[in-house]
Structure formats: structure tokens, C-alpha cells
Amino acid sequence: MPNRPTFTDLEKSSMQAASLIGHTGWDKNPSLTSLKDKIKNFGLTKTEDRCCYCGRNIHGEFRMVIDIEHILPKSLFPKQMFKGKNLSASCKRCNMNIKKSKVDFLEGINVGHTGTLLRSRYYKIIHPNLDNYDSHLLLIAGQVGRKVMLKYSVVNSSYKGAFTYEYFKLDRLEKNNFDMAQGNRPRVEIENPELQEAFDAIAPKHN
């Protein structure tokens, strides 16, 4: 278990000031820059340089394509904005293109919930900090030269593993990597989820 980051007095006061503003304080306060670097580094160390949702290796990727992930969206749960167990590191595909500020992965709590929020049973997805990812879903990667093949396997019929696989559309990552390994162009993921669902409904199925 990596050591939790330590924060300077200035960083602590910056967190307090940002919390008073609300979720918009996360982006509007330039004094949070060093603090965010520490949070991102800790998240990457904890996930072993992998996206907390899809599990892909993001080691060495440009820092701007790696997000500090708020599992509970800061816009809806501002009090959780700096809580360590609500923070991790993810790729932009999982965070910005799929999860965004949705809360449809929650079960048993809602935005107005006043009790504790950090219990594994409240999350249908694999929680990056409350669950052991590999106990629910395994990412199997094979590589020959520069060609990489990805395959996900749900562990012991895990509900969370299956839900995470569907929620983050991990079958598309499998197909894209298969296409590229065959020398074909990857399939384009449509950013608008409604358009993607419509496309999937009319696209021919391949076994």
C-alpha cells in the first residue's frame, strides 16, 4: 500500500478555500496545482499505472490524458471533492467519454444521502478504492512486437465485474485492439452515447 501524500499548510488552506466555493473551486484555484500532482501520482501508484476503470496500462502517457477521477462526481457530491477514497486516476475515455457526471452506477444512495457514502455495497461498478479489481474482473493482455490483444474475464460470475464490463463498454476496447492487431484501423467510438447506442442497434453483429 503506497504512503498517502502529505500536504503543505498552503495546500491544505487551498483545499479549504476551494471547498467553500464548491465543485467549481477545483478548476478555478491555481494554487491547487501542486496538490493535484500529488493526488494524481498517488492514484497512479495505487492502480499500478493503470486506469482505475478499464485497467489499461497508462504508464508513460502524457499527463494531460490522465485524469484525477472523482468516483462520486464533485458537481453532485462537493463534500467528497478532496476525500482520498473518492479519488483515483483514470484514462479520459472512461472518465470524460463514458462516466462523466453520471451516478447510475450507485445503488442504495442518492445525491441527497446524508450518511456514509464510502461503502462498497453502494457501488455497482468496481470501486477503485473499496474493491479489489482483480477479484471481480481480469484484464488479459497479450503482445507480439507492437501488437497488443486485450481480453477481459469476469471472475467467478462477479456482478460488479460484469457491470463494470458493460458500463465502461470494455468489449469495444477488445474489438479495437483486435482490429489493430490484425492490421486494420480501430473502430471509432462515438462520443455522444445516444448516437453510439443507435449505431450499435443497426450495426451488423459479428461472432
- Structural contact between residues 30 and 18, judged by C-beta atoms closer than 8 angstroms: no
Q: Where are the beta strands (DSSP E) in the chain?
A: 66-70, 87-91, 137-144, 147-154
Residue 4 within any structural domain of the chain: no
Residue 2 within any structural domain of the chain: no
- Structural contact between residues 71 and 45, judged by C-beta atoms closer than 8 angstroms: no
The mean pLDDT values, 10 residues at a time, for the chain of 207 residues are 84 91 87 91 92 88 79 94 95 92 92 84 97 95 74 96 97 70 52 51 41
Biggest CA-to-CA distance, the chain:
58
Q: What is the pLDDT of residue 176?
A: 66
Domain span at 127: 9-202
Residue 58 within any structural domain of the chain: yes
Residue 207 within any structural domain of the chain: no
What is the reported pTM? Answer: 0.82
Number of domains in the chain: 1
Q: What is the pLDDT of residue 98?
A: 94
Q: What is the pLDDT of residue 188?
A: 55
Residue 108 within any structural domain of the chain: yes
Residue 165 within any structural domain of the chain: yes
Residue 131 within any structural domain of the chain: yes
Residue 137 within any structural domain of the chain: yes
